[in-house]
Structures are given as C-alpha cells and as structure tokens.
Amino acid sequence: MENLKKLLIISFICVTFSISNNYSQNKSFGIGIILGEPTGLSGKYWTSDISAFDFGLGYSFEKNTNLHLHGDYLFHIDGIIKTSERLSIYYGPGIRLKLREDNNSRLGVRGVLGGFWIPRGSIVDVFVEIAPVMDLVPSTKFSFDGGIGVRFFLN
C-alpha cells in the first residue's frame, strides 16, 4: 500500500506539471489559500480567457487523513451579472487524492462548481466552490469538497 501511495503522488505531480508546461507562455498564475475541505494552498493557471487549471494542496478534516490533493480543469462563464468588475461562474472535471494514516488512501473524480470575483484593477481573486467527489479507489464513496479562498496573481 505504501508503494501505491508513492506511485499515486508521483503520477499526480507529473501530470499536473506536464499539463501546465504546455501553456507556459503569456498566461497568468495565481497562488493563495483555501479554507474548508481542504484547508491549505490553492493555485490557478489560466490557459485562455475562459479556461484554467486549478489545484489544491492541504489538510483534510476527515478522520485519519494527512493530505488532500486535487486538480481541476475549469471553464468560466462571464457576464451573468453586469458589472465593471469581473464576476464569473466556473465548472469542470477534476481528480482528488486523499492520503490517510490508516492505509486507506482514496483516489476519486470530482466535478467543481464555483464563482469568483476580481475587484477592478486588482491582482487578487476571491472565490467560493463546491465539488461533489466520487472516490473510486480502494472502493466507491461519495462526498463533497468545498471552500472559500483568495489567490494573488503573479503575472
């Protein structure tokens, strides 16, 4: 089971970095925090005006859980509310890995739905999201992730 954990972590990291390297020029990257399930770091990498990759690395409040990792591909819908600031709704598919102390680590798929606000002229976005999750390994289990957060964009 320990080897499976290492393999899953390495696979997750390799996929995340190989995807983001494909879109490395003239795009915007943000890093910040998320509070909820999980609580920890949140990142977002825009690949176009309407799509982005996001990831989370943090602590899960689920019993016996050490680490929570997730990655999503997001599609954004702007203009639902007319304003001079950017308000957007987003949705997309993703994956989640929870590493647990009791050798019962979980890997699953998730769908995320959320919204964010970028104040006019700001390098910050504030977001809220909810994500239903279907764990597939080692067995099926349905749960929810979700949180509120803020990210600072670096370029």
Q: Please state the rounded mean pLDDT for residues 40-66.
A: 91
Residues 25, 85, 123, 33: is their CA dihedral positive or negative? negative
Kindly report, residue by residue over 3-33, the tens digit of the pLDDT: 555 555 555 554 444 443 333 333 589 999 9
Confidence of residue 143 (pLDDT cuts 50, 70, 90): very high
Is the pTM higher than 0.75? The answer reads yes
**Every domain of the chain and the residues it spans:** 2-153
What percent helix, strand, coil does the chain show, rounded to 5?
A: 15, 60, 25
What pLDDT score does 19 carry?
A: 40
pLDDT at 66: 81
Task: Tell me: pLDDT of 34 over 50.
Answer: yes
Decide: 12 and 20 in contact? Cβ < 8 Å: no
pLDDT computed for residue 10 by the predictor: 57
Cα–Cα distance for residue pair 25/140, rounded to 1 Å:
39
Can you name the CATH fold of 2-153?
Porin (2.40.160)
Type of residue numbered 132: P
**59-110 pLDDT, tens digit each:** 988 777 789 999 999 999 987 777 778 899 999 999 999 998 887 889 999 9
